[in-house]
Amino acid sequence: MLGKEENEIRFLGTAGARFVMITQFRSSAGTVLSLKDTTLLIDPGPGTLVKFASSKPKLNPAKLDAIILTHKHLDHSNDVNVMIEAMTEGGFKPRGVLLCPNDALADEGNAVVLNYYKGLLDEIGVLEEGGLYAVGNLELQTPKRHVHGIVETYGLNIKVRGEPMTLLSFIADTLYFEGLEQYYDGAVLVMNVAMYKRREGVDHLCVEDARKIIEARRPRVAILTHFGMTMLRNKPWEISKQLSKETGVEVIAARDGMRFNLNPFI
């Protein structure tokens, strides 16, 4: 898919929550991580297959090693079945790994992964609190169940196999909870910050939560993504500039199609 030496995160889409998704003000396609010859697709929301085909250079789904759902909300899972179809070359070459919470697989008519597509995979790993998973040359951990409505949701810590350092952390959708930042020690910290300000009853991080996490963790770089309407209205690139100034940590607002080079962090 990408050159052998390319180690990068590619943000195909940066939409968060339902209105930015249904309007496609930002794309709701997923995120592709290519690292040490292992390629993961995280949270294939609506439009992921389209972005694979329309990206330049094109992304080849048959080169994916794994698809990961942090949770089953539509903006994270809509394209999961079609991406399994593409990863397995139309179902003719069963292969690949799927990692997702149990309620994405088995939930009385509300599972998002169809049984037919489960059968095309080499392996299905069920995410759980404290879980550890190996894919290719990478090790993934799901340290803590998030607080995100009734759906099971997990963030990720990712290491190169055999290395002690957590290279990357992805804080998926969650309401801020006491001690959240303790679980994510990645040198590069990606955070889903859907809301500008906290709103009662909405289980997402806001800018104030992001600032708290960045200050506590002080990663080498923090990347904000998964923007809802209030974030877009307040210009994520200006929010990130302000957070950089306040914290002294480099903070970047992801854009659709943004490629973030991981070579300096390996």
Min. distance of Cβ 207 from Zn ion in angstroms? 16
Total number of residues that touch Zn ion (CB under 5 A): 3
Q: Are the C-beta atoms of residues 97 and 125 closer than 8 Å to each other?
A: yes
| 13 three-class SS | coil
Q: Which stretch binds Zn ion (CB under 5 A): 22-30, 33-41, 53-61, 169-177?
A: 169-177
Packing angle of the helix pair 207-217, 236-247 (nearest 10 deg): 40
Instruction: Give the nearer residue to Zn ion in terms of CB position, either 121 or 207.
Output: 207
Closer residue to Zn ion in complex, CB, 10/73: 73
**Tokens matching residue 223:** 């990347």
- Of residues 74 through 133, those in contact with Zn ion by CB under 5 A are 75
Rounded distance, CA 225 to CA 194, Å? Answer: 8
Least distance CB 112 / Zn ion (angstroms): 12
Single out the segment in contact with Zn ion by CB under 5 A; choices: 27-35, 62-70, 139-147, 171-179: 171-179
Q: How far is the CB of 152 from Zn ion (least distance, A)?
A: 11
Bridge partners of residue 142, in order along the sequence: 131
- Beta-carbon-side half-sphere exposure of residue 190 (alpha carbons within 13 Å): 27
Return the H-helix or E-strand segment holding 142.
strand 138-142
Structure tokens at 47: 């439009």
Minimal distance, residue 81 CB to Zn ion, in Å: 18
Instruction: Based on the shown chain and the rule CB under 5 A, indicate whether residue 173 belongs to the binding site for Zn ion.
Output: yes
Helices (H), the chain: 17-23, 48-54, 74-77, 80-87, 115-118, 207-217, 229-233, 236-247
Nearest Cα to Cα of residue 156 among 76, 110, 146, 147: 146
Dist CA 232 CA 219 (whole Å): 24
How far is Cα 228 from Cα 139, in angstroms, rounded to an integer? 30
List binders of Zn ion among 38-77 (CB under 5 A).
Answer: 73, 75
H or E stretch at 171: strand 168-171
Segment lying near Zn ion (by CB under 5 A), choices 92-100, 137-145, 165-173, 179-187 = 165-173
3-state secondary structure of 88: coil
Enumerate residues 195-234 that contact Zn ion by CB under 5 A.
none
Q: Which is nearer to Zn ion, 141 or 174 (CB)?
A: 174
65 vs 75, which CB is nearer to Zn ion?
Answer: 75
The minimum distance between CB 115 and Zn ion, in angstroms, equals: 24
- For position 146 contacting Zn ion by CB under 5 A, the verdict is no
| Shortest CB 75 distance to Zn ion, Å | 5
Report in angstroms how near the CB of residue 222 gets to Zn ion at its nearest. Answer: 18
Q: Which stretch binds Zn ion (CB under 5 A): 58-66, 117-125, 167-175, 178-186?
A: 167-175
**Which positions lie near Zn ion, rule CB under 5 A?**
73, 75, 173
